[in-house]
Structure 1
Amino acid sequence: MENFQLELRTLKKSLFKEFMKSIPAMIHTHKEHLSQFDDFSSFMNGFVEQYEEILEKFLRGIVHAVFLKEERFQHFLKQAEQKAFRSGIHFLRHQRIPHQALACFSTSIRESVLQEMKRVTVSDSLPVQLFMLDRWNMVAHRTITGFLSGFSSQQFKDLKEISIRDPLTNLYNRRYFYDCLEKEIGKAQKQEMPITLVMFDINNFKQINDEYGHHAGDELLQQIAELSKRLKLLSGFRFGGDEFVFLLPGITEEDAYKLVEKMESQLMAWNKSISLAYGAIELLGDACENIDYYLQLADERMYSNKREVKA
């Protein structure tokens, strides 16, 4: 192999153009492999030309890379893996490839390129063939590893996000509240600022559902989530039904009430028959250990407010 490092320029002169000419055949063989699987019909639909351009650019980069000196080749491998990692994230976000077909996808590219590399180097000496195949295998391994790592990393993030979100409002769910609580209280203590918990629900929500249907109730819940986003209330949780809890870092108990009143007034501008019942409690240093106590206090204050509204 050391001798080949000295003869890379000669190898490039004899093989570079042939490898470049073989790229369309690599792409064609790869597409033929994919066409045998139903999973790829939707993947290829409306994306063929763009995919071919991406793949051609990728393969041209590899052809250039296999003739690099060792140090530059290793640098290329590192960059190729990082780029493939980003591509894996992109492909998952755009649902370009069904996850169950990834193995087939990566194997097809590897085999399509190997087939052409073997054809181009068939008349060369065995050491030359082994050198070229070894380099391609290194590129393929690092690229596919990077792609799958990016894909899996984004898939894990997406699944985690789904698991902590309420599907109707896209606010966090009750289960995630307890995970988020410790983090938010820790940040508040570190920055020596207050943090307040506010709980509220919708007055006469059952009546709204009964009179106007569950679709109207769902729309109202979504409107609350939208208003919370506009008011920059980022740590919001749907506890269930029409009950919501918000953690408000940097906000005192007094200001928390003002914020909910502002939300209520904006809801009433949307529908004047809507009103909220709410209770707030500023969290102290023991809140993580005694959060059920604080939730109970907020709940009691909320129902006290509800009785005042009904009165």
Structure 2
Amino acid sequence: MLHSLTSRIVAVGSIVSTSLVFLSGLLLSASHNMTASFEWNSRKQKITEVMSETLSDLREAQSEERGYLLTKDASFAENFDDLINAINSKEKLLEQLLKDNPVQYERSVALQAAVSQRVVTLKKLISLAHQGRFDEARTEVLSGRGRIDMVLLVQKVNEIQETEHELLLERLATLKTHAAWNKQLVIGGSMIIIFLVGGLLLIVTLGIRNPMRMILMAMSDFGNGDLKARVNGHMGCTEFDMLAHGYNTMANRLEHAVEAQEASDRKLVAANAELTHHSNVLKLRGQSLELLGEMAHRLQAARTEQELSTIVCAFVPRVIPGINGALYAHNNSRNLLLRIAHWGNVACGHDSLTPDSCWALRLGQSHSVSHQGSDIFCTHVEKDVTSYHCEPLLANGEVVGLFYLQGTVAEENRFLLSALIENIAAALVNQKLQKDLREQTIRDPLTGLYNRRYMEEMLGFEIARSRREDTTFGIIIGDIDHFKKVNDDFGHDAGDVVLCSAAAEIQSAFRSNDIVCRLGGEEFLIISAVDSLDTLVMHTERLRTALASLDLHHDGKKLRKITMSFGIALWHKNAFANGAAIIKAADEALYRAKSEGRDRIVVAT
């Protein structure tokens, strides 16, 4: 359009007389000034676009860096290097655009330094994140220095843009001044020139004012927050069409950048919410782990099944709340699992169960049912239960118990369940070892009867109870007659057969609450709760008769008949001073039975 206007001016000048050639030159000069002003406007538009894109790329790089730091997901920063390269390229382009203006050039250099400093900071944070030093990087971000740097950058950009805008306005004012001066010259020279110049000025003014008004209006609306503001319609001039197209392109990019920033902010908010959730979960896990530590400490100190049951019932509902359950311990002698603890309103009426009734014990791994029909139900589970979890307690490949939960274990509680299983299994094994060790210390290894040490301990207990409750109890000491001849005639293995057979008969002859001990050699002692001397003698006589009727063999040889002599003493607090006294009395009665011919019962007097 401007080139077309210039041609018209030249054509009109050729019609004007030769005297007005100078005036025509002035008009041509004004036209060139106008063209330069439009070029300056385009340059200003380009500078604005470059700086806006630089800020947009910086913000996007910052968003990717913060997304990476918050989520620890490197995919957030996958375009970081490309953005940095684009920023560097735009900085060089801006420097080229402003090099003809010393003041603006210095500002561009200062802007470039600030951008470089911000890029260095962003690269440093990304580098820290790559090294896994996220906490240090977040501390750097929280210091607020990045926000201050960005504010300074925006200020420098605004200074350059405002200066360029002021220069543009100055050139437009100059253009109008030249146009008015040329108009006065044309008026002074010739009415024809006046009409021609006036017409040309009118055309030019209209060609500039309307496009400029449309562009300035769109820019003003955009600056006021209307991101959809665009220059619409035909400008009537190629240059203004290009300027409008450039502005629209810049506005589209800015709109996309803002939308990207908002999307990034939404992602950051979501990531922050997720991190908060994870933080709460970790806090709960920490509290649960602390409970597990307290529980493990107490389990290791438990000495009885009752203590273990109390600890389990106190801690398990706190570690995994809202789920009822029960704990079973394996009884090797009966091949059963006996319930030793339960918590909550657990629907389980079985005090014991067999290993075959639980699929977890069959498979040797956890067995869960989330709803009816989802898996095979264990036969020990009640029919009205819809979901449950069975966990076998194993130690060295052997079953030591079963952990039963009535309900569904949430995924986040799985690791707590594993820790519970390990602690409880270890406690069961520890208790079994303690029980076995105690059995070894109080049992005679050959006969399985209690030994002298346990007898002395229980005798003291019975004496204390008798004195407290004013009750009586009996002491029976028995000795196998001629036992040395069995060893001499048939060997010590045959003697062991005789001892074990006699021990079994003695054990079966008395009640389960009576204490049967082997004192040593062929001598046995029974602490009986029978408080009647006649009843005590009757039980002993039945034992003596049963022993005499035994028919024993070893290595195909028939062994001699077993007979035993017995000494009986009945405890009363007024009769004996202590346990040694009643044992001495029973032993003396045994001695009399031996001396009177053996195979008999003598009561201490």
Band of TM-score, shorter chain: 0.5 to 0.7
Written as runs of structure 1 = structure 2, the 5 A alignment for 1:114-153 is: 135-153=413-431
- Correspondence for 2:534 among 242, 254, 268: 254
2:222 is matched with which residue?
A: none
1:297 Cα deviation (Å)?
A: 1.3
**How far apart in 2 are the matches of 1:174 and 1:166?**
9
**How far apart in 1 are the matches of 2:492 and 2:589?**
28
2:445 is matched with which residue?
A: 167
Give the gaps of 5 or more residues in structure 2.
Answer: 1-273, 282-358, 371-387, 401-409, 552-559, 600-605
Q: Is the 8 Å Cα contact of residues 188 and 250 (structure 1) preserved in structure 2?
A: no
SS in 2 for 1:280: strand
Amino acid at match of 2:520: G
1:146 Cα deviation (Å)?
A: 0.8
Counterpart check, 1:185 vs 2:468: no
Amino acid at match of 1:209: N
1:308 is matched with which residue?
A: 596
Counterpart check, 1:291 vs 2:579: yes
**How far apart in 2 are the matches of 1:214 and 1:249?**
34
1:198 Cα deviation (Å)?
A: 0.8
Q: 1:273 to 1:139 in 2, by over 3 A?
A: closer
What do residues 101-135 of structure 1 show as CA deviations (whole Å, max 9, x unaligned)? xxxxxxxxxxxxxxxxxxxxxxxxxxxxxx96x74
- Correspondence for 2:502 among 217, 224, 229: 224
1:190 Cα deviation (Å)?
A: 5.7
Q: Is the 8 Å Cα contact of residues 507 and 516 (structure 2) preserved in structure 1?
A: no
Counterpart check, 1:269 vs 2:549: yes
Q: 1:204 to 1:285 in 2, by over 3 A?
A: same
Q: Is the 8 Å Cα contact of residues 463 and 579 (structure 2) preserved in structure 1?
A: no
Larger radius of gyration: 2
Q: 1:52 to 1:170 in 2, by over 3 A?
A: closer
What do residues 262-295 of structure 1 show as CA deviations (whole Å, max 9, x unaligned)? 1111111114732211111111237996211221
1:117 is matched with which residue?
A: none
TM-score, scaled relative to structure 2: 0.31
Q: Is the 8 Å Cα contact of residues 565 and 598 (structure 2) preserved in structure 1?
A: no
Amino acid at match of 1:87: L
Q: Is the 8 Å Cα contact of residues 393 and 421 (structure 2) preserved in structure 1?
A: no
SS in 2 for 1:277: strand
1:157 Cα deviation (Å)?
A: 0.8
- Correspondence for 2:433 among 141, 155, 164: 155
TM-score, scaled relative to structure 1: 0.58
Amino acid at match of 1:262: R
Q: Is the 8 Å Cα contact of residues 188 and 249 (structure 1) preserved in structure 2?
A: no
**How far apart in 1 are the matches of 2:527 and 2:534?**
14
1:54 is matched with which residue?
A: 364
Q: 1:194 to 1:181 in 2, by over 3 A?
A: same
1:168 Cα deviation (Å)?
A: 1.0
SS in 1 for 2:535: helix
2:477 is matched with which residue?
A: 199
**How far apart in 1 are the matches of 2:463 and 2:509?**
21
Q: Is the 8 Å Cα contact of residues 237 and 246 (structure 1) preserved in structure 2?
A: yes
Q: 1:216 to 1:194 in 2, by over 3 A?
A: same
Task: Tell me which protein shows more helix as a share of its residues.
Answer: 1
Structure 1 residue runs of 4 or more that deviate by more than 6 Å after TM superposition: 4-7, 49-52, 286-289
SS in 2 for 1:299: helix
Amino acid at match of 2:443: R
Counterpart check, 1:87 vs 2:393: yes
Counterpart check, 1:237 vs 2:543: no
**How far apart in 2 are the matches of 1:310 and 1:231?**
20
**How far apart in 1 are the matches of 2:502 and 2:531?**
19
Identity of aligned residues (%): 23
Amino acid at match of 2:393: S
Larger relative contact order (CA 8 Å, sep ≥ 6):
1
**How far apart in 2 are the matches of 1:209 and 1:290?**
36
Which shifted more, 261-270 or 134-143? 134-143
Q: Is the 8 Å Cα contact of residues 277 and 306 (structure 1) preserved in structure 2?
A: yes
Give the gaps of 5 or more residues in structure 1.
Answer: 8-48, 63-78, 100-130
**How far apart in 2 are the matches of 1:150 and 1:288?**
43
**How far apart in 2 are the matches of 1:231 and 1:191?**
26
SS in 2 for 1:172: coil
SS in 1 for 2:561: coil
Q: Is the 8 Å Cα contact of residues 193 and 249 (structure 1) preserved in structure 2?
A: no
Q: 1:245 to 1:54 in 2, by over 3 A?
A: same
SS in 2 for 1:201: strand
**How far apart in 2 are the matches of 1:290 and 1:6?**
65
Amino acid at match of 1:258: M
